[in-house]
A and B are shown apart, each in its own frame.
Chain A
Amino acid sequence: MAYQHTIHQRVYRFEDLKDLLAKASPLRSGDVLAGIAAATYEERVAAQITLANVPLKQFLNEALIPYETDEVTRLIIDSHDTNAFEPIAHLTVGEFRDWLLGDEIDTSTLQNLKWALMPEMVAAVSKLMRNQDLIAVAQKCEVITRFRNTIGLRGHFSTRLQPNHPTDDPKGIAASMIDGLLYGSGDAVIGINPAMDSPASVSNLLELIDALRQQFEIPTQSCVLSHITTTLDLINRGSPVDLCFQSIAGTQQTNSSFGINLDLITEAYEATLSLNRGTVGNNVMYFETGQGSSLSANAHHGVDQQTCEARAYAVARKYNPLLVNTVVGFIGPEYLYDGKQIIRAALEDHFCGKLLGLPMGVDICYTNHAEADQDDMDNLLTLLGVAGCNFVMGIPGSDDIMLNYQSTSFHDALYLRKVLGLRPAPEFEQWLLKQGITDEKGRLTHSQAMGKLIDHLF
């Protein structure tokens, strides 16, 4: 169906909902590269005005990628809850934006919408929202998940300790792990990106973290971010797998380029659940996403990168994940050119994920060929802290020497906790206190824990 809007006698016509969404998207280099972005500032606003008048119901009738050929579309349509949708079924996209900002809309109202919302509806409304709207609504959401601790409680803020090493050297990884723990990092997960995705190497790393965790009774979980097939293999061999990781995207074809499909994720999900290793809950999946992956895989079907990203959250939502991490600036300037685009994309992803009921964290990051620096990351970190982001990365000095990009440091997380009065996951906070790593006010004390950790690992 075509849509149109006239501004000063100039008629803007949009071929279909997909075209309208792409043109209404705030400017980013990836959509320009794909050739689907608005050509002028006026056309972009014309698209936004048009989109504001589209009924939410229209998204149920007009699939962006055909139901018949895309399993993500099928998942979205088939899991839509008509009853939960009832309270907002009469709204247009624009009215939905206003509705979300209303004072009477509280946390539980939003939690009830989880299965009422299609990712495309959420993407659409985000395109009409300013950054402060994205923050204000996300802050009303609360998504709590549990494995060995409780993540996402209001007033709490967690970190993934990411102790990567270019050759997976166990001592190199251990050194970064100690550094992170002594800086209070690691309550979301201790998660390593392996340089080598071989079962033997991944298994060694899992054993390394698991032994440390058990020895010091650390209430957290571990993960080596290998391909889901490697994890499945390791589960079958009896390796200590806490969480099952996978990168996911919003189109079947992109997922296929990652070597995955929904059946495979389901199989891995069930296998990981069956290990029953969680103590306070059983959210066992860890997903990573990021705008631009579908364009990069040449599998975007003309859908803008932010909408593709929101569709990935439908995949995540199916598996009750412990953590969903949008890796926002890793992909490079051809998708998100500068600090402004990276910041916008991160706030959109966090908002969309939260509204869809996901425990959103953000890898606040950039590469050296993007027009961004630490100041941009400081801005984004602070904005996400205000928005109630569940977790960010913790990397020594924010310099990942394996993946060659810059993310957030252990110090950055402490800054955020300090200026916003946020605390780690409660179980982890107790552990930090018991070890004497921090005091009641969350200040670092650096205790005798250090000597014991070093003795264990070296």
Chain B
Amino acid sequence: MKKPAIKIADPWDSLKEFTAARIAMGRVGSSIPLAQCLEFKLAHAHARDAVYSTLNSEAIIYYLDHLDIPIIKLHSQAQNRQQYLQRPDLGRLPDELSVRTLQENAGAYDISIIIADGLSAHAVNSNAVQLVEALVKLFRSAKYNLAPICVVSQGRVALADHIAHGLNARLSVMLIGERPGLSSADSVGAYLTYNPKPGLTDESRNCVSNIRPEGLLHEPAAQKIFYLVQEAFRRKLSGVGLKDNAGLLPS
């Protein structure tokens, strides 16, 4: 006996070329077929695993060693992921040991490069080394004086203000794992802040988003960040004011 067809396909499959949305999934009764359910579950699993992934500081330090820049490890006041997720305020503050480390490493720097796990350590583990290599090359070509590179656990964006202020740097570039999407668990965001100091808000920053192999590639991302850094130094500001003239920015 022939097996009856249970799954009903949607005959507008060809429209999938126009969008990444989950269209034309077909149905069983009026429900989503199992294959598509499991596909979705897998994507969500990747995102969830990314949220709970941990920063591989040792590997990052090892692979950045050849740049010949001191590297320091820091930690926010959020003790673990659960607390990090519920208390963003703690993720924005350095813990006691980190404050001391920053004091010991304070100097007079142009740029502080900070690598933080954010909401996806996986993203940073996968992208930070190549991105920092590209950035350092560009920054050195412009003769910027670089602060020790900071590798931060349980960090949020505004932690960069405390770090760069503590190190006495004129500008911070934080590379941080972005909130994982269903199709992008490995996306890094770069936040740039001129004259960083505690108390600043998002209006004071510029962001280059979606840095990952399937999104904005490392080299063009570094170029874009470098352009913003130069403009920030030239115009002595960052954030909304810098963005307003963003027509000049290469896309």
Contacts and interface: CB of A to CB of B under 8 A. Distances in A.
B18 A171 contact: yes
Contacts of B10: 179, 182, 446
Contact of A334 (B22, B44, B88): B88
Chain B interface category by residue count? 35 or more
A16 to B, nearest CB: 25
Interface in B33-49: 36, 40-41, 43-44, 47-48
Interface stretch (A116-124, A140-148, A281-289, A403-411): A403-411
B182 A411 contact: no
A33 B21 contact: no
Contacts of B15: 175, 178-179, 454, 458
A411 B41 CA distance: 16
A405 to B, nearest CB: 8
A115 to B, nearest CB: 38
Interface centre among A166, A401, A443 (most CB of B within 10 A): A401
Contacts of A458: 15
B19 A33 contact: no
Nearest to A370: B85
Contact of B183 (A165, A171, A401, A443): A401
B248 interface: no
B23 A176 contact: yes
A373 B44 contact: yes
B87 interface: yes
Contacts of B36: 397
B73 interface: no
Interface string B79-103: 0000001111100000000000000
Contacts of A172: 18-19, 21
B246 interface: no
B141 interface: no
B11 interface: yes
B25 interface: yes
A49 interface: no
A374 B40 contact: yes
A369 interface: yes
A321 interface: no
Given A333-B86, A367-B179, A396-B25, A450 B44 contact: no
A146 B41 CA distance: 38
Contacts of A90: none
B163 interface: no
Given A33-B86, A415-B31, A444-B27, A175 B51 contact: no
A304 B89 CA distance: 18
B119 A369 contact: yes
B179 A404 contact: yes
Interface string A24-37: 00000100110000
B62 interface: no
A373 B27 CA distance: 21
Contacts of A268: none
B22 A174 contact: no
B180 interface: yes
Contacts of B23: 175-176, 178-179, 396-397
Contacts of B19: 165, 169, 171-173, 175-176, 396, 401
Most buried by A among B21, B44, B48: B21
Given A179-B24, A396-B21, A368 B85 contact: no
A333 B44 CA distance: 16
B21 A399 contact: yes
Nearest to A165: B19
B213 interface: no
B211 to A, nearest CB: 15
A334 B86 contact: yes
A411 B31 contact: yes
Contacts of A398: 22, 40
A450 B14 CA distance: 12
A402 B25 CA distance: 19
B161 to A, nearest CB: 16
Contacts of A299: none
A397 B25 contact: yes
A418 interface: yes
B183 to A, nearest CB: 7
Nearest to B181: A404
B25 A411 contact: yes
Contact of A368 (B21, B48, B87): B48
**Of A165, A368, A450, most B-chain CB atoms within 10 Å:** A368
A411 to B, nearest CB: 5
A337 interface: yes
Contacts of A175: 15-16, 18-19, 21, 23
A454 B10 CA distance: 13
B88 A369 contact: no
Nearest to A180: B23
Interface string A417-431: 010000000000000
A368 B89 CA distance: 20
Contact of B21 (A165, A367, A369): A165
Contacts of A176: 19, 21, 23
B30 interface: yes
A335 to B, nearest CB: 9
Given A172-B18, A175-B15, A337 B86 contact: yes
Contacts of A166: 20
A372 to B, nearest CB: 10
Interface in A361-409: 367-369, 373-374, 395-399, 401, 404, 406, 409
Given A169-B19, A368-B47, A418-B29, 8 more contacts: A32-B86, A171-B18, A174-B18, A182-B10, A368-B50, A399-B43, A404-B179, A415-B30
11 contacts: A169-B19, A179-B23, A368-B51, A368-B180, A369-B180, A373-B44, A396-B22, A404-B182, A414-B30, A443-B30, A446-B8
Across the A-B interface, give the 10 residue pairs with the lowest CB-CB distance, nearest first.
A397-B22, A414-B30, A172-B19, A368-B47, A179-B23, A175-B15, A404-B181, A396-B21, A171-B18, A175-B18
